[in-house]
Chains A and B, each alone.
Chain A
Amino acid sequence: MRALFAALSGGIFGAGLLLSGMTDTTKVQGWLDVFGNWDPTLAFVLGGAIVPMAITWRLAARRQTSWLGTPLPAQPNPKLDRSLIAGSVLFGAGWALAGLCPGPAIASLSFGGWGGVVFLLAMLAGMLVAPALRRPLDRPARAGAKMDIRAITPTYAVSPQIALEDLPAIKAAGYTTLINNRPDGEIPPHLHHAQMQAAAQALGLIYVQNPVIGGAMTDANIAAQGAAIAASTGPVFAYCASGNRSSVVWALSNAGKMPTDDLIGLPARFGYQLEGLRGQIDAMVKS
């Protein structure tokens, strides 16, 4: 059923791309050629697509799930990261050079000749290498800044080990609860639980100690993380050595509360590979 409607939507999308002229590279390049013989057709295409979609978002806002029962996508974290800007600039450059973006590249594949095939293959290669380029981009923007807030959702962020001096910035970023997911045994003494707790509470942060042993996460760990998140009045900031354990324990504590794809896909944006947990999450959802 899902696939049937996906195919229908894809078909209408493809037909719309062809009819509108988006598969004609001269029209796309003409639209971008502001200093030459400018072609405004694409403004009609975008306008024609955005108006019905704006109405649809209004309709969707009244619902929790789609007609097939999938939770509707939440408004993404409004954070503007460097990947978004750099990626969009690169995409715009490529779009101008060939006059094709991903949708029309697929829709025109049957009649686009070798040029279209080569474009699609190059695009697939680009998509394959993109994750490797994302990691250096997502490192903190300020030179010398050690802290790296990785907002998995607007209300939950993870980070590698923080220093006591990072706490004011965490507080200033709006986080109200700090979760330490590292056992003391693996941390230098000046960053131990007691020191972190004192510094966090001095700033008015709620501090939760939930030590997770790498590879040996317990049900109690998962429950404690979930309880701390549920009890928090504001966004939660959790850290461990890399942010991986804080991501895993978050994903497991949210099993069934969010789509499994999101529980895996959101941490993946920061390089945390949770795909291996899919079976465990699905089993938790069923039980």
Chain B
Amino acid sequence: MIPTEWLFGLAGGLMIGLAASLYLLVNGRIMGASGILGGLVDGTGRGTTAERVAFLAGCLIVPALIAWAIGGARTNITGNFAVIMAAGLLVGIGTRLANGCTSGHGVCGISRLSPRGIIATVCYLLAGGIVMATARHLWGLI
């Protein structure tokens, strides 16, 4: 019997793939969360502001409505704000240096067999695994 969590994962994954497909075929853009947001932050996205804001608004509001409808959702994020701040900085810097994150490199890059997307995904998975092993099992930090 397959755990229901895996089925939810698969169903949610299919929706992510559908969203990325829509963004590519209709809007002609690669659906990368860090790129869409980052372009607004550092000004490289001027001229496509409306499209970016609309995407982010949908991405924020729809889960908010679903979470409200099902009586709440949880991120279970750590209460250690120093760790949260360090993590946020690393994610912000890292995704902009690498020009992509899980959605851009992981979903859109791998599905296209892009060497950059594949290498980026291997790098962040390896780094994530090593940091997890170190921070959780050696240091007991998270």
Contacts and interface: CB of A to CB of B under 8 A. Distances in A.
Contacts of A269: 99
Contacts of B125: 32, 92
Contacts of A134: 96-97
B54 A123 contact: no
Interface in B5-51: 5-31, 33-34, 37-38, 41-48, 50-51
Q: Is the interface of B mostly helix, strand, loop or mixed?
A: helix
A217 interface: no
Interface in B98-142: 98-99, 101-103, 105-108, 110-112, 114-116, 119-121, 123-129, 131-133, 135-137, 141-142
Interface string B48-69: 1011111111111111101110
Interface in B68-102: 68, 72-79, 81, 83-99, 101-102
Nearest to B112: A57
A255 interface: no
A99 B105 CA distance: 18
Interface in A1-56: 2-27, 29, 32-36, 40-56
Given A16-B12, A84-B98, A97-B131, A109 B60 contact: yes
A127 B96 contact: yes
Interface stretch (A72-80, A186-194, A221-229): A72-80
Contacts of B121: 88
Among B41, B102, B133, max chain A CB count under 10 A is at: B102
B25 A46 contact: no
A33 B53 CA distance: 34
B26 A94 contact: no
Contacts, number: 505
A66 B98 contact: no
B33 A48 contact: no
A70 B25 CA distance: 9
Nearest to A264: B44
A278 interface: yes
Q: Is the interface of A mostly helix, strand, loop or mixed?
A: helix
Among B22, B28, B59, B106, max chain A CB count under 10 A is at: B59
How many of chain A's residues touch chain B, expressed as a range? 35 or more
Contact of B11 (A48, A69, A122): A48
A115 B77 contact: yes
Nearest to A52: B17
Nearest to B53: A3
Contacts of A256: none
Contact of B26 (A67, A91, A268): A67
B126 to A, nearest CB: 7
Given A98-B83, A124-B92, A127-B96, A106 B60 contact: yes
B92 A115 contact: no
Nearest to B135: A97
Contacts of A73: 24, 28-30
B43 to A, nearest CB: 7
B87 A42 contact: no
Contact of A96 (B23, B28, B56, B132): B132
Nearest to B81: A118
A133 B89 CA distance: 13
B59 to A, nearest CB: 4
Contacts of A6: 23, 27, 50-52, 54-55, 58
Interface of A: 2-27, 29, 32-36, 40-57, 59-60, 65-73, 75-76, 78-80, 83-116, 118-131, 133-134, 137, 260-261, 264-265, 268-269, 275, 278
13 contacts: A2-B54, A5-B22, A46-B107, A48-B10, A68-B28, A69-B28, A78-B115, A92-B125, A95-B128, A99-B77, A103-B102, A118-B85, A127-B38
Interface of B: 5-31, 33-34, 37-38, 41-48, 50-64, 66-68, 72-79, 81, 83-99, 101-103, 105-108, 110-112, 114-116, 119-121, 123-129, 131-133, 135-137, 141-142
